Structure 1
Amino acid sequence: MSRDDPRRDVEKLRRSHKLMEKRVQQRTKALAQAKQDLEAEVEKRTRTELELRLLIETAQSISEAPDFDSALGVVLHKVCKTTGWSLCEAWVPRLDGAALEPGSVCSPRTEDRARFQALSKDFTFPPGVGLPGRVWVSKKPEWLRDVSAEPEEVFLRARMAREMGLKAALAVPVVANGNVLAVIVLFMRETRDEDRHLVELVSAVANHLGSFLQHKKAEDALRQSERALRESEALLQAVMDNSTSVIYVKDTQGRYILINSRYEKLFHISREGIRGKTDYDLFPKQAAEAFRKNDLRVIEAKAPLEFEEVAPHDDGPHIYISIKYPLLDRSGVPFAVCGISTDITERKLREEREVAERKRAESWLERLIDTTQDAVVSADREGRIVLFNAAAEKIFGYTRAEVEGKNISLLMPEPYASEYESYIRRCEETGERRAIGSIRTVQGRRKNGEIFPMELSVTEVTTDETEEVRYAAFIRDTSEKARLQAELIESERLAAIGATAAKLAHEIGNPLNGMYMTAQLLERRLARLGEGVDDGVKNSLRNLVEEIARLNRLLEEFRSLSRRERYTFRPVALADVAAEVLSVEMGNFSAQNIRVESHFPRDLPLIMADSEKLKQAMLNLLKNAAEAMPQGGTLTLRAQESGREVVLEIEDTGFGIPEGVDIFEPFFTTKRWGTGLGL
């Protein structure tokens, strides 16, 4: 054996040892990596199991929760308990989507939960504001290491966090179908850097539970809708049942779906018993056909319509006002007709009575207007005549047909006619109504153009039906009144003249009698002197005596003017009086070459008159006529009956009465020696 063999064995052994160490190191390293991988796998499986257990338990609790808020509270409780957070809260979008409002709060300590809720209840977070608002907008989780140390613009409730001893916080969105259902905020009482495993765990739970919460929220909405529908149906039925109108719903085939209690009571059928029936099953054929015809019109029009319908009742037919309207589906197609029918029988009867009473009142008013002695003329706002009674026809000379629709200025002389329209326009614009409500004396114009005085009272009338303004004028013809007033004034003037004449006759008569007696005495003395008296003196004295005699006659006429006449009225035949007067004057008429013609009907009635005064008046007229025909002519007497009067006309062929001369004016005469007192 060689000396080199041990060394080679030692070297070989050393190399083997190194190789062994290297392999041990490699194996140790592999075992350490395997251990690390095993620990990571265990941690992963533990976290997965924790997440899975949390999901299963939370999902089961959510499914058992009665509503969304309760389900959200379950999520907070499970997450808080499982992950070891000190306090958890939820923020839920408001219905209008303008802000987040507080939801459930969870904490192992009841006093912390109550205090936290009290401090947070007045907070809301608009989008992007505060920790919940930022997560709401970003839809991503956010970790804050220490909320108590954050400025308020980052964490609005920093002061509250300090009071509560809250430090690290994590906010996680609960998202379903892209919508944030809630934002969960979790707090712990120690400062901690972001724990990605914890963030991922809570985020994973939140993401997986979003669909469960969405389903629960949908269930809440469905339950609320169903509850609202039941409440709405109950409310609708209550409204219908408390209505005094008959309310019903029929499908497009006319089959009843719904009725109210009023319908049940009036027509003796229940709402259960009427379903599926038609009007033909309930009413006589004529009424059913009328109802069906109206229903079809509503379906065709696709709009509400109003009808007057007649339905049979136990006490006879009743009249209804029915408002019917179609019920449309989402595509706008009618699927039913709803009707609200109100019994107007009493109202119709009352209206008929009112119409009858109004017609009687109108008839009475029309008779009153037509029989009144005053003219009644009514015009609309444009001045067109709409009413013209019989007295107006008599006063103005127009018939009603001639003036209806014509402007009322037709009845006015100038300047009233041209001023009328401007006055009405001023009344309408300013409300000034000086002439309305007062009685004024104005002038009117008859059809023949005659202008006459009248009293006018104008009132404004508004009709009840159309509120149309009309003007009614009450007119009284004062022509006769004016004539009587003129006659009264003339009578008073004549009385004054008579009194003056009597005084003058008394004052002048005495010295005039003395003068007359002296003149007669002188005339006798001159007669005794014989031929020695100058003829001129005799003639002068004779003229003096005649003038004094004329003055005495004039004074006597003045005295007769002042004396109160006495009349004796009795039935008189006008033809006999005329014959007596003519017999006295016939000789004078013949001498003046005047031919007399008399025309008195045999059946001329007697008149009530003073025959002596009538003779004197007739004699004066005949003398005046004869004096108007100095060359002769024809004198005609003509009498005729006119209504309740007898008219006597005395006509001559002389030169007539000059225009503008009033023959009845006292003291007016065209004769040289006349006094003007004859007539």
Structure 2
Amino acid sequence: MKDEDKTKENIFTAKIIKPEVLFKSIFNFSPDAIIIVNNEGIILQANAQAEKIFGYAEKELINRSVDILIPERFRKRHDEHLKNFIAKPHIRLMGSELELYGLRKDGTEFPVDIALGFIGTENGIIVLSTVRDITEHKIRDTQMNLLLSLTQAINEAADLNTALDISLNKICEATGWNYGEAWVLGKDKRSYVCSPVWCASDSGLSKFRKSSEKCVFQGGTGLPGRVWSSKKAEWIPDVSIISEDIYPRVTVAKECGVRAGLGVPIISDDEVLAVLVYLMYECQKKDKHMVDIVSAVAIQLGSIMRKKLVEERLRASALYARNLIEASVDPLATISPDGIITDVNKATEEVTGVSREKLIGSDFSEYFTEPDKAREGYRHVFEKGIIRDYPLAIRHTSGEVTDVLYNATVYRNEAGEVEGVFAAARDITEYKRMEEAIRISEAKYRGIFENAAEGIFQSTIDGHIISANPACVRILGYDSAEELIASVTDARKLYAEAGRRLHLVRSIKSDGTVSDFEAIINRKDGSKIWVLINAHALEDSTGKVTGIEGMVMDITNRKRAQKNFQVLIDGSPDAIIAVDRNFNILLTNTHTEKLFGYSRLELIGNSYEMLLPDRFKFKHAKYCSEYFDNPSTRLMALHMGAFAKRRTGSEFPVEINMSPVETAEGIVIVIDVRDITEKKE
């Protein structure tokens, strides 16, 4: 540029646009917030956009620390960065990989990008910060990333439930919800039920999940029902403070600590395919950005899930039809108008000894012992449209012949034209085999029944004995089943404890079965024995319980041994305590009650740790866990300073011997506790 041109430019700039005017215009009309601070972090100046995005008036910012615009958790780190920047000032452009957040006057945070510049003055470095609110950018990134990952994952999903599972988990991970579930249309096509897929950030929400599984919502009721009916997302800031009419699961929500809730519909072709419900532990006002993210994902999900739903329905329909064919024990085949096989099921392969691949395309009549008769039956089908119980015989490749009853009907296309014949061959040989098998089975059962060591019985629900095997007769002291049935007209009289059989019957009716049911039984001679009963319900065709069938075992000797064992340990001068792997007390002796001040009922079923001072519980639990991994007889010596705690809270020194006992339920520790107060003194 010539000197003359430079002179003209300087005159123009000086007269038309003064530097301070130019700076002020750029400063105030910048689309980004501009904040100027001194080397101590004090705000010297802020533009209009800074007031707008942070919510402060300019006068509220000037001469205040820039920390008021920074979330508290970042302030210490920011102070260090400022010191480093002042020491080595440099220009930092936007787009750094740092996760930066601003703090508004109302306390809300938002993501920002920051560019830094500096001006050297005689009073030190002045820092120019350009702050850009990137909330929308973050949302778009989140939406895009979530959509991309979801779209790819759902497209690869094998079925609709897998697609829903992926959606729930990825949205929870991306948006911070603690719990997610999906609601789908029930079998009645009028109500909404919980899908089998769900996700949760921790096990504390399992109780809420179990409650959901029991719920069925009609349109307009509950969060899922309202979202389904309105086809719009619904946000509830705190589900725990609203009425059951609005949120029926409010009680369990309170118990699980659930607060904010969001329901979003997945819609395709104006039809709601599912409702996604999300919950979190914190109360939270409606977050429009979060709703937008989940809604955007739901829109994308709608089209993908529609495709998945159609694919699944087609797959299910085809699979259902194929399963029906393959599930048939009868040979099934479709045959063309010219007598060529077009499809067969597994039963046809088995009865002919020929593979499906070879059967298809061959003449159907060649597999019968009388091909002409088979073709005659086929012609009859085309003339009459159907044939029933037409006798034929199929020859297996091995030479074996199977007598069948041939049933067939024509099938047509949409135009009503006959496309072929659907044929079924009922194997009557199998019926004969079944009859023989039933006879053998009954004989086998009778042999087991008669020779079993345990008693086997059947009775009506009101106590009439129907049958009893020899072992059962022997246990009850009778000479024969006939004598037992004739003598005991009411099974309640067999039970020495009033109401014991009623307890058995109630358990059977409630659960359908009962295991390890103990009772005292009156024998024919008046003596009493202990028995163990395992039984199940007998039901009629309507499902009504009409009787009881079960096994009975004489456990008198076992009970006597248990009693003798209890007497034995009650005679010990030490406290004897048996615990399981979870440190629950299974057994105690009399001296345990005396030593610790608890009754046996207060001890059984509770944790062994109730007998330990608090300061030893952790160490002792660790020791016991290691002991279960390598059980052996051990002595916890005096140098360990072992102490126990009475019910009163007082402590006393003890010696502890631990011995493993192997039971059917696993290893049990038998602990011998000796009070050594006098020995210590």
TM-score between the two structures when normalised by the length of structure 2: 0.40
Say which structure is richer in strand.
2
Bigger proportion of residues as helix = 1
Greater Rg, structure 1 or structure 2?
1
Question: TM-score, normalising length from structure 1?
Answer: 0.40
